[in-house]
Structure 1
């Protein structure tokens, strides 16, 4: 699975990339802002984007997630350290991964989202992951 990481924290993004690559995922990014993320996503066509809700450079992660889905068909998992209302993003994201999270929770979350994208029902969901109901269509 090819993953795009969009995270403006200069420590968190590279750490996420290292954990995911070590586990065998192909990772593009991390990028810190939405315009660069869109350009890279157009070129690389990731299977899933891990998008921080708060980004550098103006556009927020929710807006980027909507654009990735609408323009490129790329689903997103939003990453956040803040409380957000899921109702606001159910139309655009597969769920939230809540910070802080341990490396294993990141791997578990990506694995679970991969199962959901493949039409499977996960048997385990890490507590840091808030999945949105299956009513979300994975196909735009």
Structure 2
């Protein structure tokens, strides 16, 4: 899976990149701002993205999420305050709350890879708060 990381805290972005690569996926880019995230998404067309809500240019992660959703790029938010997410999760599959454990992140990655691959009846791990969508 080709993954985009949208995170303005460099250490967290590097740790996330390391875990993604250990899980056998490829990071196509890291972005600290909404402009950079949109540029990388357009250029690299990732299979998936992790998106923080607060970036260096403000609380613009939700805008990035909506942008990704219009491009049909699945994503989850990674945030210390998931209560700030809109009711529709801006099109996200769900959210991972900070601080997260490496074990929780690994479980989330395994789950997300299965969802992206179209596997049916996959149960979400407790490390992911799933978006509720109206039928």
Q: Is the Cα–Cα contact under 8 Å of residues 115 and 121 in structure 1 kept in the other structure? A: no
The change in CA–CA distance for 1:34 and 1:91 in structure 2 (over 3 A counts) is closer
Alignment deviations for residues 53-102 of structure 1 (CA, whole Å, 9 cap, x no partner): 111113511111001111x2212100011141655333511001111111
Tell me which residue corresponds to 2:80.
Answer: 81
Unaligned runs of 5+ in 1: none
SS of structure 2 residue aligned to 1:68: helix
Alpha-carbon offset, residue 128 of structure 1: 2.2
TM-score (norm 1): 0.84
Q: Is the 8 A contact 1:7 1:13 kept in 2?
A: yes
Cα distance in 1, alignment partners of residues 134 and 48 from structure 2: 18
Partner-residue secondary structure (3-state), 1:36? helix
The two structures, once aligned, show a CA RMSD in angstroms of: 2.0
* Structure 1 equivalent of residue 103 of structure 2: 104
Residue aligning to 2:40? 40
Q: Secondary structure at the match of 1:11?
A: helix
Change (3 A) 1:39 1:113: same
Q: TM-score, normalised by structure 2?
A: 0.87
The 5-angstrom pairing of residues 1-140 of structure 1 reads 1-58=1-58, 60-70=60-70, 72-84=71-83, 87-117=86-116, 118-123=118-123, 125-133=124-132
Residue 17 of structure 1: how far off its partner (Å): 0.2
Aligned counterparts of 1:120 and 1:82: Cα–Cα separation in 2: 30
5+ residue gaps in structure 2?
A: none
Secondary structure of the residue aligned to 1:57 is: coil
